[in-house]
A and B are shown apart, each in its own frame.
Chain A
Amino acid sequence: MNLFVNSIVPTAWLLLAARVLTLAVAAILLFVFLFLLQNKRKKKRKAQLRVLFSDLIAEITIAENRPELQETLQAFASPKGRKQLLANGYARKILINELVKTKENISGQSAGNLCWLYEELGLRQDCFRAFRTGKWYRKVRAMQQLAAMQQNDYLVKIYRETNNKNSFIRTAAQLAVVKLTGFKGLRFLSIVSHPVSQWQQLSLLSHLQEGEVEAGMIRLWLSKKNESVVEFALRLVEIYKCHDLHNEVVNSLRHDSAAIRLQALQALREIYTDNTAEALLQAYPLLNRPEQLAIVAMLPEVGGSENALRFLTTLVQGEDEGLCFHAMHAIQQISPAWSSQVIHQLKTNPSFIPILTHLQKEAV
């Protein structure tokens, strides 16, 4: 009989392969053990350094004046001792990490103390060096650290990276400039050609302070082709309540992107005028369902005119149960009298009864 595979692969080869593979298993396991050992040592060292540095950082944070800062540093280690300790690159890396971590949680004079320590120990140089390196992850970390420790000297260099094609460098640079200069740092939105993701938008927002806003810049961004920039601009309108931009926001209701239209509605909730309700009713027929639901939910806040009530009543009488429910809810909030009228007309309609029961129970 034909012994098939034997004609392709001789037994001897298979045995050889098996031997090689067995050695491979042994080699891999050896590597695993060595790796674990090295890891353990590294972790131990890291823990020791963290404890050492955390004492220093905590003391520095609560120091109340310059002499006290100097004293604390001197008590920690003499200049010679410091030099020895910080000769090790790993130790410096841990110290910078701990400093940055603390700085993120601290404000006021204490934050200034931390920046003083950072500069006094010459740790800036590490970050500058890392920034100039080719490796993207070192550059990103450097930008994060420089921004956290308020190193404005590198602002221009960092700003140049805000439209970098590497998304990590780009987003880190954008965050860094905003962290360093607040709202002014958002200038990059005027030129950025890559999308600004939702995540990035949230990150940028978390670094913006209250109060500082330039409506003119936002107006410019609302007209950009980059849809994510428009969306972000609308978010800014919402947060900073830029009433001046009401008309531009209403125009955005006709944008092609559903995300932008929804964001525009959210913005209008914060900056509505007497004309907003009309604009919403006009836009309503052209929008899709989630946007229509949003409008119905907004009407009680933005302007419950008789026009609006009539419009909502047509929705209640419509086929769409969800719209019917939300419209009825809105009517109740705008005008209880009108609401009673509608209920009276529809109470014999069987499909309306569950909605009615729910709303009545909720009102109690």
Chain B
Amino acid sequence: MKILVAEDEPIMQKTIALRLKKDGHEVITTDNGREALTLIFEQSPDLIITDIMMPYASGLEIVGTVKQYEKKIPVIVLSAMGQENVVLEAFNLGADDFISKPFSPNELSMRVKRLTAR
């Protein structure tokens, strides 16, 4: 599976990418929201994992935009902003899952498996 990871903290980006690669996925990474949107439309990933607080475009804007045009791509939001209203907003916009930081990479791996199995 081709997975896009949008995360602006370099070490987290590396960790998530490594974990997914270990599971056998192909991983594309980016550290800003605008590039993420470009990559989504250019490369059509099978799954998107995005942080919320990123330069240029927030993760929520990515969720909203993706779900408007490409409803089939599952989106997992992975963010430190785990307040109830943020989580609800993410789901309202169409996110398929929300993981709060601090998170477990093993758990992320499981959730990715579950979503891609569908």
Contacts and interface: CB of A to CB of B under 8 A. Distances in A.
* Bind each other: yes
Interface of A: 50, 54-55, 57-59, 61-62, 98, 101-102, 104-111
B11 A57 contact: yes
Contacts of B80: 105
A104 B18 contact: no
Interface residues of B, number: 18
Contacts, number: 56
B24 to A, nearest CB: 14
B14 A109 contact: no
B118 interface: no
Which 7 pairs of residues, A with B, have the shortest CB-CB distance?
A108-B104, A58-B14, A107-B102, A58-B15, A54-B11, A62-B19, A105-B101
Contact of B103 (A55, A101, A107): A107
Contacts of B10: 50, 54
B102 A106 contact: yes
A58 B9 CA distance: 12
B55 interface: no
A70 to B, nearest CB: 18
A55 B102 contact: no
Given A54-B10, A105-B9, A105-B80, A61 B102 contact: no
A363 B105 CA distance: 46
Nearest to A54: B11
B102 A59 contact: no
A110 B104 contact: yes
Interface in B51-104: 80, 101-104
A71 to B, nearest CB: 14
Given A62-B18, A62-B22, A104 B102 contact: yes
Contact of A105 (B17, B18, B102, B107): B102
A98 B18 contact: no
A110 to B, nearest CB: 5
A106 B12 CA distance: 9
Given A62-B19, A62-B22, A106 B105 contact: yes
Nearest to B22: A62
B11 A58 contact: yes
Contacts of A50: 10-11
A222 B9 CA distance: 41
B18 A107 contact: no
B27 to A, nearest CB: 12
B104 A59 contact: no
